């Protein structure tokens, strides 16, 4: 290989390394986690570069970039999936996140693109533009969800609190009704007891009077 070709290939490796490193930093920034597979690929690239195998080094740089983008897309997909799995009422989604149905489609496209990345990670960098476009769409979705999430959660929390109060009110109404019924039964029972006592007393008085009349007649 002539010197000019070597210099050109070396420049390509440096450029691809910089792009891959940027992708790795981006993936770590959005997910908060270290993109280990991508970092390993960069390490392999450096090893090949030191061994003067620029072609292999370039391939590993491309692979590192793919791995970083895969990690980023995976994070965004997980974020969107977790949001929609909360089964937020459609009326609230329509109110605070009007394009939520479109965001579902972006989620599906992103998932398909993730599969494409896994198949193309050893190819050249010509497809990165499409991949970065999907990442851009997912970032928009993430930002829109972030913007609406606090309001949605606030409304849902208020609804849950209202439901809790309604349940507590119903429970209290049931307990009050039970207490009233217990008091009614107690009053009835007491009335019967008093009535029985009065009847008993009257019976005793009648008995005494009868006895006295009997003694008098004797």
pLDDT at residue 60, as a whole number = 92
Contacts of 15 (CB under 8 A, 6+ apart): none
pLDDT at residue 47, as a whole number = 94
3-state SS of 136-189 is HHHHHHHHHHHHHHHHHHHHHHHHHHHHHHHHHHHHHHHHHHHHHHHHHHHHHH
Per-residue pLDDT of 18-41, as tens digits, reads: 999 999 999 999 888 888 999 999
Pick 87 or 8 by higher pLDDT: 87
Domain ranges of the chain: 3-174
**Is residue 103 within 8 Å of 141, Cβ to Cβ?**
yes
Integer-rounded Cα Rg, in Å, for the chain is 41
pTM for the whole thing? 0.65
Choose from 31-40, 153-162, 186-195 the range with maximum mean pLDDT: 31-40
Q: Is the dihedral of CA 158, 160, 163, 167 positive or negative?
A: negative
């Amino acid at each position: 290989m002539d010197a000019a070709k070597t210099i050109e290939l070396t420049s390509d490796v440096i450029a691809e390394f910089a792009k891959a490193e940027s992708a790795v930093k981006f993936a770590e920034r959005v997910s908060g986690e270290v993109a280990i597979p991508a970092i390993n690929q960069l390490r392999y690239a450096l090893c090949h570069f030191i061994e003067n195998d620029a072609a292999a080094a370039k391939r590993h740089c491309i692979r590192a970039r793919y791995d970083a983008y895969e990690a980023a897309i995976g994070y965004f997909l997980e974020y969107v999936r977790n949001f929609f799995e909360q089964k937020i009422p459609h009326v609230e989604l329509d109110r605070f996140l009007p394009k939520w149905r479109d965001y579902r489609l972006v989620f599906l496209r992103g998932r398909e693109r993730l599969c494409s990345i896994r198949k193309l990670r050893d190819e050249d960098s010509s497809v990165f533009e499409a991949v970065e476009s999907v990442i851009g769409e997912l970032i928009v979705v993430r930002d829109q969800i972030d913007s609406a999430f606090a309001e949605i959660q606030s409304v849902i929390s208020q609804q849950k609190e209202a439901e809790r109060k309604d349940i507590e009110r119903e429970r209290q109404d049931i307990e009050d009704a039970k207490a009233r019924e217990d008091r009614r039964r107690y009053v009835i029972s007491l009335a019967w007891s008093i009535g029985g006592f009065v009847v008993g007393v009257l019976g005793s008085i009648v008995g005494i009077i009868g006895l006295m009349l009997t003694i008098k007649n004797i």
